[in-house]
Structure 1
């Protein structure tokens, strides 16, 4: 089974979540430390340069030149319990049934925002952030190894923006996004299952005769092991975002923000390795030839979903402010993913996703403790795009989650401050009965034909810190 297929599924999935600060899927977790403190409910607050991500119209509220640089660390805890994964032959895959800490102990992502007020009407800005990411590393002998063993996804977005202030009530914003994504994926190839199936079908004798004719030792088949597939892909894609901010009264704002889809042509290479299937080189060569898999270039065309956010902000008094955000993500763009193996006879590897559109709802509050300290808090509920257990793949064992966040802003001086934030994400138990519709031996498609049955339990902690400076 080709690894490239997975590289692009993850790329696609994660791109799906790149559009919103609170999306599920492959979202990294936070694109701004100040917004993290309110569970990303503060899209209409526009208090610092990170409004470039949430709503570029908010740039019109910023004075002078402002810089924000931050770092967010994600600390996950994940476990998997297998409940009967099988090969395409219907027999058990064997392997480890329990997986603990298959996610890294910690992952960190930087963010950078800058705004420059040009005059009373125009303000420009630039944002750079990590829109999504993933890093999974299961044991190579786990029960679901024919679906996935390891996957890493990294991405970065560059987002120059500009805002126009029509008057004290109406502001508009526009930005262009250049998005780079890179993904790698590995999985085992079910050689033992393929050999067992050939023997059961009565073609095993021909395989043995071929091995003997080439000087190999067919006895090596008695201790046969898995093959390996590795794939990488990368691409730049481009899109835009727009925003509108309405201020009916001082201290009250309503915002609308939209991020467009981004088209990606993920290109890379697929590598197959059968060199350690047995201890006999001749046997390995025969098996590799029989697999009909060869190293090649690979391509997947993707269109990421767009998002639409509606948010509000209101100052109740000199100390308290409340806010909300509702974000809709068009995840239904993610149907089946076809991975093409260029210049080969191998059929496409098809990943069934069939994602559903999702809604994220967040509520937040600010409390001004004194002239130097602002406290923040927020809660959110985020839907997962996965439609059912039968469509939940090991590369994205996602589920609905609830979020609780706390944060603070501490003024160091009239021109500088520090933001800190903590978030706890609790995921609903995620079960899978995903079956690959292809199987080894077919030229019309690529796949191991495995069925992954099990459940994931996950929770995450996010820690963020940012420095702000006004020139």
Structure 2
């Protein structure tokens, strides 16, 4: 077993299965400071340590961060209406079913070293993903007592940042990607697959990929900062155990994203931030192909989750009460990536969040720059209801609510 595979398994073993995402399968932000401000911070160097703008790391100095995130999701689907009895339909059992997954723990790590006055090197480890487990045979698969999915991404991002002058910096990151995918309860669809033995119930499968991120951070005029990042599509090896389910014979690349934001210092104690983020789910056919595609499962034009590209608007603020205490708050919203026509397949991935409220704080500890950070996120219950494409007499309602608490220590 190579070192990268071992690292992936060790990191995943720390995760209790749950829904682990807010913007599709992406978190609202990375790092406790960013999350406390609604996921903003691409134009604020202090948020750059974990997964954000690599251009900000040259301003951090030597710094380390360890964090732990607890997520408390409530995930369910509700089938409304009795089966039509029409030949060729696939009805579902009427009633509401709630996922057994109630808790997730996710660790994150970040480190930064100042190489000289103009450059720095850093690295962080962080993840995205989704998972739920319904205690029923949702799709009537007799080979599994549950219907469940687990999908995690882990990023390792060695980064180099360079200060062009006192007001402008750039940064580059290599995005090393590890993924784990497992699904059960889907063998009902094996007859529609290009590889019937590789649809469901084959255990965890790993894949690895690579991409890149580039970032810019600059002070355009006194107290007004602009930041931007672009992350390329991360091309990944295929998930062979599920080549009969996922489009393009098990392909699951990570889509490209871009973010642009501003950070304005209203006073020496108070700042306001605004970010816009675009997630290009349409680049990945396993995610973007519609369920009623013309191809077989696993084929290039085979069924997927039918997700659309997602634009997220984020607002945040920070108030420095005194030298040892900072308070934060934020709000983010964006149209959910799931199309209403795709509720049938998205029972497995009900990513229907559309807004998030956050608060956060940092309390200094001692005189060495050490600090404890906290962020609390609430994504209110949001439901999506539409007719089942597999039986017109039934409607399917998806619902997801999430509380998240993150604590970290900076030293």
SS of 2:101's partner is coil
Corresponding residue SS for 1:364: strand
- Tell me by how many angstroms 1:333 deviates: 1.5
- The aligned residue for residue 70 of structure 2 is 73
Unaligned segments of structure 1, at least 5 residues:
1-20, 195-227, 272-292, 340-345, 437-448
Q: Which residue of 1 aligns with 2:16?
A: none
Between the aligned partners of 1:351 and 1:250, the Cα distance in structure 2 is: 52
Contact 1:36 1:405 in 2 (8 A): yes
Separation in structure 1 between the aligned mates of residue 82 and residue 284 of structure 2, nearest angstrom: 25
8 Å CA contact 1:85, 1:454 repeated in 2 = no
Unpaired runs of 5+ in structure 2? Answer: 1-19, 192-198, 290-295
Shift of 1:149: 0.8
Query: Of residues 162, 165, 177 in structure 1, which corresponds to 2:163?
Result: 165
Equivalent residue number for residue 405 of structure 1: 358
For the 8 Å contact 1:374–1:409, the answer to whether it is kept is: yes
Contact 1:322 1:366 in 2 (8 A): yes
Deviations 1:266-308 (A, max 9, x none): 233369xxxxxxxxxxxxxxxxxxxxx9xxxx94123332111
Report the alpha carbon displacement of residue 85 of structure 1 after superposing the two structures with TM: 7.4
> Cα 1:390–1:182, aligned 2, differ >3 Å: closer, same or farther?
closer
Q: Which has the higher contact order (CA 8 A, sep 6+)?
A: 1
Deviation at 1:78, TM superposition (A): 2.5
**Conservation of the 8 A alpha-carbon contact between 2:310 and 2:335:** yes
CA distance, structure 2, for counterparts of residue 22 and residue 302 of structure 1: 17
Secondary structure at 2:252 match in 1: strand
Residue in 2 that maps onto 1:264: 236
1:329 is matched with which residue? 279
Q: Is the Cα–Cα contact under 8 Å of residues 54 and 170 in structure 2 kept in the other structure?
A: yes
Q: Tell me the distance in 1 between the aligned counterparts of 2:205 and 2:31.
A: 27
Question: Using the alignment, how far apart are the partners of 1:88 and 1:416 within structure 2?
Answer: 66
Q: CA deviation at 1:155?
A: 2.2
The question of whether the paired residues in 2 share the 8 Å contact of 1:29 and 1:74 is answered with no
What whole-Å deviation, never above 9, does each CA across 1:82-133 have from its counterpart, x for those lacking one? 1247588456746462212x05111111111111111111111001101x12
Among 345, 348, 355, the alignment partner of 1:395 is 348
CA contact (8 A) 2:374 2:407 kept: yes
1:234 corresponds to which residue? 206
User: For the structure 1 residues 79 and 267, does the alpha-carbon distance in structure 2 shift closer, same or farther, using more than 3 Å as the test?
Assistant: closer
Q: Kindly tell me: are residues 103 and 249 of structure 1, through their superposed partners in 2, closer, same or farther at Cα, counting changes over 3 Å? A: farther
- The 5-angstrom pairing of residues 19-58 of structure 1 reads 24-28=23-27, 30-47=29-46, 49-50=48-49, 52-58=50-56
Q: If you compute each CA radius of gyration, which structure gives the higher value, 1 or 2?
A: 1
Correspondence for 1:10: none
Match of 2:182 in 1: 184
2:332 corresponds in structure 1 to 380
Secondary structure of 2:238 counterpart: strand
| Partner SS for 2:158 | strand
How many aligned positions are there? 367
The 1:127/1:348 distance shift into structure 2, 3 A limit, reads: closer
**What pairs with 1:138-177 in structure 2 (closer than 5 Å)?**
138-142=134-138, 149-177=147-175
Structure 1 residues 243 and 24, CA gap change in structure 2 (3 angstroms)? same
118 and 80 in structure 1: CA distance in 2 versus 1, 3 angstrom threshold: same
Q: Deviations over 1:362-388 (max 9, x none)?
A: 111111112211000001102222233
Residues 75 and 168 of structure 1: CA distance in aligned 2, closer, same or farther (over 3 Å): same
Q: Which residue of 1 aligns with 2:80?
A: 83
Distance 1:354 1:338, change over 3 A: closer
| 1:357 pairs with 2:309 | yes
Question: How high is the TM-score relative to the length of structure 2?
Answer: 0.80
Q: For residues 320-359 of structure 1, what are the alpha-carbon distances to aligned partners after superposition, in whole Å with 9 as ceiling and x for unaligned? A: 11111101122221345799xxxxxx97463244432221
Distance 1:121 1:450, change over 3 A: farther
Matched, 1:467 2:409: yes
Shift of 1:458: 1.8
Number of the residue aligned with 1:255 = 227
After superposition, the Cα gap between the structure-2 partners of 1:451 and 1:141, relative to the gap in structure 1 and judged at 3 Å, is: farther
- For the 8 Å contact 1:49–1:68, the answer to whether it is kept is no
Conservation of the 8 A alpha-carbon contact between 1:435 and 1:451? no
Which digits, 9 at most, give the CA deviation of each residue in 1:10-63, with x for residues without a partner? xxxxxxxxxxx996212255521111100111221111552x522100012112
Determine whether 1:119 maps to 2:116. yes
The match for 1:302 among 243, 252, 259 is: 252
**1:142, CA displacement in angstroms?**
4.0
CA gap 1:452/1:269 in 2 versus in 1, 3 angstroms = farther
